[in-house]
Amino acid sequence: MTHHDTSALHASAVAFRALHVPGRPLVLPNAWDTVSALLVEDAGAAALATTSAGIAWELGAADGNRLDRGQALAAVERIAARVRIPVTADIESGYADDAEGVKDTVRAVLAAGAVGVNIEDALHDGEGRLRPVDEQAGRIAAARAAADEAGVPLFVNARTDTFLSGGGSVEETLERAAVFVAAGADGVFVPGAADPAVVKALVEGIDAPLNVMVGPWMPAGVPELAALGVARVSAGAVVAQAAHALVRRAARELLGTGTYETLADGLDYGELNSLIGGGR
């Protein structure tokens, strides 16, 4: 991997950190490849977040800690090399068996040119729904230590799947969040929290910027979430899911009725070509 100028990375990390403002959230339509990243940047995003699910699918793997670190971070590096805005990488559970391995992953994230990470506590091995809180705290502390050693104020976003994995409560989420923040997390991501009352309780109870995941299931739009004090809004895998739905609709229409209506709203060839070919 290329070695990035530490001073430039440091400046990018500081800029990214400053975008987390409760009530004026950083909005992240997640990208999974160069073209989706360039389109998100072109739409005016202040930063770029990757989706691990989108990257896994792009590389022919299922989501859920099935990619290896090298594959995942090569994709992040391709994106970071092309956009001018700060990049935060979804690194699932850290692409490592232990906390020491998470340090190696974070070093690789910085080498790839990203200045933020998401680290989740979901377990995909069937042994339990969430990683034990102390073990997860150790992984977060390792990420923080690796960034500190590199001299880059990496934004460590601690994701807890209390709601996504079923049976989650505000109390359990607040307990885990407090441990993660004490371990060195800069923000807390609670996907699956959708009820405005729950979001408000999380904003009030977590001593760090709150990130929520949005999509068509959410009762509240970004302005309502901003009013509740949310500091970061992520689309997760849903942009990729919508893009892939269009491919399926177009394929079924072409192979079925033999018509082309699904393809009517495609991007202009010249515009797309110049967006991708221009600049860096």
Does any domain span residue 139?
Answer: yes
Query: Which residues 6+ apart lie within 8 Å of 139 measured at CB?
Result: 93, 94, 96, 99, 102, 119, 131
**Structural domain count of the chain:** 1
Query: Which residues 6+ apart lie within 8 Å of 54 measured at CB?
Result: 30, 31, 32, 33, 36, 237, 239, 240
Taking residues 94-107, report their average pLDDT.
96
pLDDT confidence tier of residue 4, bands split at 50, 70 and 90 = low
Ramachandran angles phi, psi of 256, nearest 5°: -95, -90
Q: 220 exposed, middle or buried (CB, 10 Å; 0-12, 13-18, 19+)?
A: middle
Does any domain span residue 215?
Answer: yes
- Greatest alpha-carbon pair distance for the chain in Å reads 60
Residues facing residue 234 across a β-bridge: 28, 213
Between the alpha carbon of residue 5 and those of residues 86, 90, 99, 200, the distances in Å are: 14, 22, 26, 40
Question: What gap in Å lies between CA 120 and CA 182, rounded to an integer?
Answer: 16
Does any domain span residue 246?
Answer: no
Does any domain span residue 187?
Answer: yes
Q: What is the pLDDT of residues 234-278, one digit of tens each?
A: 999 999 999 999 999 999 999 999 999 999 999 999 999 999 997
User: What is residue 6's predicted lDDT score, i.e. its pLDDT?
Assistant: 86
Q: 166 exposed, middle or buried (CB, 10 Å; 0-12, 13-18, 19+)?
A: exposed
Extract the tokens encoding 222: 């970004």
Extract the tokens encoding 257: 């009725």
For residue 209, which of 235, 173, 185 has the smallest C-alpha distance?
185
Q: What is the pLDDT of residues 28-75, one digit of tens each?
A: 999 999 999 999 999 999 999 999 999 999 999 988 878 889 999 999
- Asked if 111 and 1 count as a contact pair (C-beta separation under 8 A), the reply is yes
- Residue 213 has a CB neighbour count (10 Å cut-off) of 24
DSSP state of 28: E
Does any domain span residue 250?
Answer: no
- Residue 257 has a CB neighbour count (10 Å cut-off) of 9
Does any domain span residue 13?
Answer: yes
Q: What is the pLDDT of residues 144-163, one digit of tens each?
A: 999 999 999 999 999 999 99
- Asked if 88 and 115 count as a contact pair (C-beta separation under 8 A), the reply is yes
**N-to-C CA span, the chain:** 18
Q: What is the pLDDT of residues 218-233, one digit of tens each?
A: 989 999 999 999 999 9
Does any domain span residue 106?
Answer: yes
Residue 147: which domain range? 6-237
**Secondary structure element (H or E) that encloses residue 35, with its range:** helix 34-42
CATH code at position 77 = 3.20.20.60
Does any domain span residue 153?
Answer: yes
